Amino acid sequence: MTTPRETQALLETPAEALFAALLAVLAAKGMVSEAELAARMAETDAAAPAQGARMVARAWTDPAYRALMIADGTQAAEALGIPMRGAPPLGVLENRPGRHHLVVCTLCSCYPRAVLGYPPFWFKSAAYRARAVRDPAGLIAEWGTVLAPGTEIVVVDSTADYRWMVLPQRPPGTAGWDEAALASLVREGDMIGVTVPGMGAKAG
């Protein structure tokens, strides 16, 4: 029999070794294989900010799509062929003149992975999670982002079953651009709200 202390010692095994041991035990039970892991990694790697950027560019050029995206992000993603089966419902937060949205998960790291891919390092950091709800303007200044004076920031703390992405405003000077060119302007941070498209930012 294993005591709680022995269990604790096992859990404190360096994570890389513990993971290898877990995989070996699970593989011996037929619960996971290297092929399944590889397939799952390939699927997960395919979800990336370029997916969300396609949605944003379409919304900038097609008012009906924009309305769909705001009403039902999941359907809007599927309409562009982005796989959403098994993903949590996607909510879309529309930036407008005078209103900016910033997404955070103060409890963990909830992120719209189906349309943006793996959450970035900063999104998971304690500093980001602590500061976003309390001083969002000071936080996004770390990316060099400065909003127009008088802009209200709506901070969305993603605590439960939805995942949230920001629909940023189309930058000025892009009249006549096609969808692909517009999509190339949209970065990961723009769809979380730490940056805005077309603004010189130091990272993202």
Partner 1 sequence: MNGTEPGENPKRAHHDLGGVAKFLCETVDTAPHALTLFDRRVDALRQILGASGVMRVDELRRGIEAIPAAEYHRLSYYQRWVRSIADNLLRKGVVSAEELRAALAAERGDGR
Partner 2 sequence: MTLLAPGTRVRVRDDWPEARGEAHIRTPHYLRGREGVVARHLGDFPNPEDLAFARPAAILPLYHVRFDPSAIWPPPRSAGVLLVEIFGHWLEAR
Q: Which is nearer to partner 1, 130 or 137 (CB)?
A: 130
Q: How far is the CB of 105 from partner 2 (least distance, A)?
A: 10
Q: How far is the CB of 130 from partner 2 (least distance, A)?
A: 10
**Binds 156, which of partner 1, partner 2, none (CB < 5 to 8 A, cut-off by type)?**
partner 2
Q: Which is nearer to partner 2, 91 or 198 (CB)?
A: 91
**Binds 137, which of partner 1, partner 2, none (CB < 5 to 8 A, cut-off by type)?**
partner 2
Q: How far is the CB of 69 from partner 1 (least distance, A)?
A: 25
Q: How far is the CB of 94 from partner 1 (least distance, A)?
A: 24
Q: Which is nearer to partner 1, 78 or 157 (CB)?
A: 157
Residues between 96 and 135 that touch partner 2 (CB under 8 A): 106-107, 133-135
**Binds 61, which of partner 1, partner 2, none (CB < 5 to 8 A, cut-off by type)?**
none
For residue 100, the cross-strand partners are: 153
Token reading at 103: 């997404």
CA angle 188, 173, 72 (to 5 degrees): 45
**Binds 181, which of partner 1, partner 2, none (CB < 5 to 8 A, cut-off by type)?**
none
How far, CA to CA in Å, does 13 sit from each of 21, 25, 79? 10, 16, 45
**Which stretch of DSSP H or E encloses residue 137?**
helix 136-140
Token reading at 23: 């995989």
How far, CA to CA in Å, does 176 sit from each of 59, 173, 182? 14, 9, 10
Judge whether 105 counts as a catalytic residue.
Answer: yes
Helices (H) and strands (E) in the chain, counts: 10, 4
Choose, from 33, 108, 125, 184, the residue flagged as catalytic.
108
Q: Which is nearer to partner 2, 9 or 137 (CB)?
A: 137
Token reading at 198: 């077309």
> Cβ(124)–Cβ(158) under 8 Å?
no
C-alpha torsion sign, points 44, 50, 56, 57? negative
Q: Which is nearer to partner 1, 19 or 137 (CB)?
A: 19
**Which stretch of DSSP H or E encloses residue 104?**
strand 99-104
Q: What residue type is assigned to position 62 of the chain?
A: D
Which of these ranges, 69-77, 155-163, 175-183, 192-200, lies near partner 2 under the rule CB under 8 A?
155-163
Instruction: Tell me which residues are annotated as active site.
Output: 105, 108-110
